[in-house]
Amino acid sequence: MTANDWTYLVYIALCIAATVWIGRTLRLRGRAFLAFHYDGEGNLADPMSDLLAVGFYTLHVGVAMVLLRFGSSAANLTQSIEVLSTKTGVILLILAASHFA
């Protein structure tokens, strides 16, 4: 396997791990907000939270996979680290921007 192949594999693993970690955190912490704002008893909070989580995962993993194609390729370890940090940084910025929006 080439350095570029390893870069893609690490990128995919990092993006999915970050998306799942942030999605789970938002789902767990956001339940109280949903219960308070939509129904005081929490009957709709769990289904609404599940639906939002599915949309969150689908959107962000999809964006990560689309961005996989863009950018430069890596021929050595230094370039791999540069490409990986740039692509992962873009995904983290997209995750943060969508959360705050």
- Give the global pTM: 0.73
Q: Report the Cα 89 to chain-centroid distance in Å.
A: 11
Asked whether residue 64 carries a pLDDT value surpassing 80, the answer given is yes
Q: Using CA atoms, how far apart are residues 30 and 53, in angstroms rounded to an integer?
A: 10
Asked whether residue 65 carries a pLDDT value surpassing 70, the answer given is yes
Highest-scoring range by mean pLDDT, 19-23, 40-44, 48-52: 19-23
Query: What percentage of the chain carries pLDDT values higher than 90?
Result: 4
30 or 90, which is more confident:
90
pLDDT digits (tens, 9 = 90+) for 18-30: 889 988 888 888 8
Cβ neighbors of 50 (< 8 A, separation 6 or more) are 27
Mean pLDDT, rounded, of the chain = 83
Query: What was the pLDDT predicted at 82?
Result: 87
Residue 8 CA neighbour count, 13 Å, CB half:
14
Q: Using CA atoms, how far apart are residues 32 and 75, in angstroms rounded to an integer?
A: 48
